[in-house]
Structure 1
Amino acid sequence: MEPIINPWVFYLIDVVDSLKNVLWCVGGIFFCTLIVYFIGYMSFDDGYRGDNEKRKEKCVKYATVSIGVLILVGVLQIAIPSKNTMYQMLAARYITTDNIGSAQNNVVELVGRIVQEIERKKK
């Protein structure tokens, strides 16, 4: 008997849902990093040109990278569906009117057999 839905689909849905959790953690880390770089940027004296200027440029560079990563994580969080949505999409793909009609016919046939067995046992 071949299953209608490949069992690996359920595994992949769980893995993708775990990926969303990891993305939340990555986003939180980069948000904290962005705050640290912002504080570092604000603490440098603009009147002093020297080593602090290089540090300030690094802060801007790393803050820009952090903002880019935060935007990427945000887009992925929006684009990746939740576990419930993935299950609903899977059900919508495999539950068709033909499948429902077939299941209905099987249920009617099964109930008919049960009634026949009950009547046979009574005799």
Structure 2
Amino acid sequence: MEPIISPWLIYFASRADAVGILFLIVAVAAFAICLIGFDDLTKNGFKLFISIGIISVILTVLTPTTETVYTMMVANELTSDNVQAIGKTGKDVIDYITDQIDKVVNDKEENKK
């Protein structure tokens, strides 16, 4: 039997928060270089670091959280027939399934420790 949601998607979803933090660190570093090393930077170097900082801030804002990625994966597999069979609203079903995925992922991480 083939899984509904790929285990690889669950793995990459669990890393979404770390990717957002990485973009934020890059943005802070780029802006810090511009502020601290402004005298040593050429005009092109300054523009480069400002561009990197702005792009990193945009990517930080656009990177979804782990819970959002889980919700998107579940919503992709959810049909109106599934919701009617359970008898709850779509949001209730998505929240329940997201909680179950999170529980499975967290249980596996605790077992490794």
TM-score, length of structure 1 as denominator length: 0.59
Indicate whether 1:63 and 2:46 are aligned.
yes
1:28 corresponding residue in structure 2: 28
How far is the alpha carbon of 1:69 from its aligned partner?
0.4
2:57 corresponding residue in structure 1: 74
Structure ID, larger Rg:
1
Q: Retained in 1: the 8 A contact 2:34–2:50?
A: yes
Give the number of the structure whose residues are more often helix, by fraction.
1
**Ranges in structure 1 where 5+ consecutive residues have no aligned partner:** 41-54, 105-123
Number of aligned residue pairs: 87
Q: Retained in 2: the 8 A contact 1:37–1:63?
A: no
How far is the alpha carbon of 1:91 from its aligned partner?
1.7
How far is the alpha carbon of 1:95 from its aligned partner?
2.0
How far is the alpha carbon of 1:102 from its aligned partner?
4.7
How far is the alpha carbon of 1:101 from its aligned partner?
4.2
Structure 1 segment 30-109 matched on structure 2, within 5 A: 30-38=30-38, 40=39, 58-102=41-85
1:18 corresponding residue in structure 2: 18
Structure 2 counterpart of 1:90, one-letter code: M
Structure 1 counterpart of 2:52, one-letter code: V
Instruction: Give % identity.
Output: 26
Q: How far, CA to CA, are the matches of 2:67 and 2:31 in structure 1?
A: 28
TM-score, length of structure 2 as denominator length: 0.64
* Cα deviation digits, residues 4-34 of structure 1 (max 9, x gap): 1111111011233321111111111111101
Q: How far, CA to CA, are the matches of 2:11 and 2:27 in structure 1?
A: 25
How far is the alpha carbon of 1:75 from its aligned partner?
2.0
**Ranges in structure 2 where 5+ consecutive residues have no aligned partner:** 88-113
